[in-house]
Amino acid sequence: MIVRDATEDDVRQILDIYNHVILNTTSVYSEHPHTYEMRLAWFRDRKSSGFPVLVADDEGVVAGFSSFGHFRVWPCYRFTVENSVYVHAGHRGKGISKMLLQPLIDRAREMKLHAMVAGIDADNTVSYRLHQQFGFVEVAHFKQVGFKFGRWLDLKFMELLLN
């Protein structure tokens, strides 16, 4: 398995992973699947903004993807990004998230960014521990800010200072 920059040819598989996450987990606070056009626009926006989109490629199969983008749109936040890491349900537990997160951190440092933020559902202990392993620390815990699957969700923010 290799980690590489994603291409538009990967967008369909990225979409499949993302929609599975939307429909089956609280990792994304959205209830409706995205269309191919939405994910393609997301991909093109990331690329045109100079942000990476990476995939874990298992002989042509996208086993997971990661990216980062603007944390907030106001100019004074320009040195802070928010990351995303998602792994295909059939490939979880194989260390793919670790393979996808380290290159994101490296890219952010190369871009002279200052901070990386991760928004994580409070019940997602796997993602929480993953980010801890890379030096992220919890900086906020928002109570009942999301509602999905008939229940209120808490959101934790974790942060890594990059320099």
pLDDT in tens, 121-134: 999 999 999 999 99
pLDDT at 83: 98
What is the pLDDT, as a whole number, of residue 102? Answer: 97
pTM: 0.95
Quick one: pLDDT at residue 80? 98
Predicted pLDDT at 57: 98
Which domains can be identified in the chain, with CATH numbers?
A: 2-161 (3.40.630.30)
Please give the C-alpha separations between residue 39 and each of 11, 47, 153, in angstroms, as whole numbers.
7, 12, 25
pLDDT level of residue 142 (50, 70, 90 thresholds):
very high
Q: What is the mean pLDDT of residues 22-37?
A: 97
Judged on CB neighbours under 10 Å (0-12, 13-18, 19+), 149 is exposed
Which residue carries 């994603």 as its tokens? 6
Q: What local confidence, expressed as pLDDT, does residue 34 receive?
A: 98
Give me the mean pLDDT over the 32-38 stretch: 98
